[in-house]
Chains A and B, each alone.
Chain A
């Protein structure tokens, strides 16, 4: 069963068309990435499904049941920016969030622990760094242990350690069976975390589906040796090779999807008098695929 179904959604800001009749479904238990460059309509889309923006046309529903306030209470959401009262502490702010969500306050300590903010729980929000504000917003979304999370650019403002922690948290929540809808303009974030993706460009869905289907059209390996010309000549004779491209770091060799294994390549090169200094499997560059889809 789908957690979210969006159908022919249109949003105009005067003459600007932010969304042009987009539609997709989010299956239960997935980490669904909404990927797109800045201004592609990601936040507008999430704003509409959370009822803070009014749609020009189209429909959407959660859990096949509707879109009212009762439904939104079952979803933990971080949309665009952390929104809290600057003069209140983390705990006081989360008490307000718990009251709005009609959840008990007993969950507050747990969620603050989850995002490593417990030590600063009694500090005013105004004293927090950008990363800490973002963590608090994620903690608020986790209040009441919701089955579905909607996270808009969840690693915004975090340092590399913080980014890694939040990614691990998302993976952990996914393993617990939760559905996570995540908007991002960061390609590697989507690649590392998401199981499914919809790619948005200027308010249109360019592609949607399983990450592997969208991003893995070819198998690629990267190889290198002291004599690259000889290596390229040898690899040209290897069965199944579609294309060889030279990059600064070595040669990238393309094969049909699901056909390449490393050991035979290594043995083949060795047999032809070449000792490989590098041999690794490489997915098709997400960036190049993203650019291909959005241009």
Chain B
């Protein structure tokens, strides 16, 4: 079996001259900073000057203790970019038939699985590192003192990045064609979002009409489980609304998120190890 160092060296040889990789990486990096800057300046210049701003309190989402959560939440909207890159990189191996050639040339099928899963983890880790740096930057820009309170949201962000990347990787090894795989990924995202909202409405109805509390059912789907852990920092309006909402169980949702991660790891492994290439 090849070492991870050797496998990742091979992967780097493919990436370092690949324009699509460079473009998406740059676009993602700029996107993270730009998205958070928009939220930061909207809150500072629009919400801060609104009549009645005092009524909802002096809520500032990029102050330390909130910056980890806000940055993780806002950046979460951009995770389709690394996921799309994962799809392109994996389906390239099928389009160019290079995964097949790597096996012929001396990789085991398990090597092919290991290196792609390593890339999934690295992309999630680098995205998380970018979140940490951005959160620090906007936290200090808000003029507040450093605090690690709320840093658990960065962990939730990592879980979300990992989930998105794994779903992308699974669709890529299953579909094998770039266009179809990207299309299916976005269709799935949209479909899950709709189903999740319908389940949320149903769980609210159960709570209000029958007094049955099954929790926020919409958060139990693959993407929604990791989405559900990342929320925008609570404000008084949301606290008022929560009195009619089903119970939010982060531990249950977290357990679902981890279970889905393990499921997709297993599905990807099984697909590459057993199918003809």
Contact = CB atoms under 8 A, between A and B. Distances in A.
A35 B199 CA distance: 61
Interface residues of A, number: 29
A51 B274 CA distance: 11
B97 A83 contact: yes
Interface string A75-96: 0010101011111100010011
Interface residues of B, number: 29
Interface in B59-90: none
Given A69-B111, A72-B105, A73-B106, A96 B96 contact: no
B107 A69 contact: yes
Contacts of B9: 99
Contacts of A81: 97
A86 B19 CA distance: 12
A97 B105 CA distance: 7
- For the residues of B in contact with A, the DSSP-based class is helix
Contacts of B17: 87-88, 92
Contacts, number: 80
Contacts of B19: 87
Contacts of A101: 105-106
B98 to A, nearest CB: 5
B105 A54 contact: no
Contacts of A248: none
A97 B101 CA distance: 9
B20 to A, nearest CB: 8
Contact of B100 (A52, A69, A99): A52
A22 interface: no
Contacts of A119: none
B106 A102 contact: yes
Contact of A83 (B1, B6, B13, B96): B96
Given A52-B277, A69-B111, A81-B97, A88 B106 contact: no
Interface of B: 1-2, 6, 9-10, 13-14, 17-19, 92, 96-98, 100-109, 111, 274-277
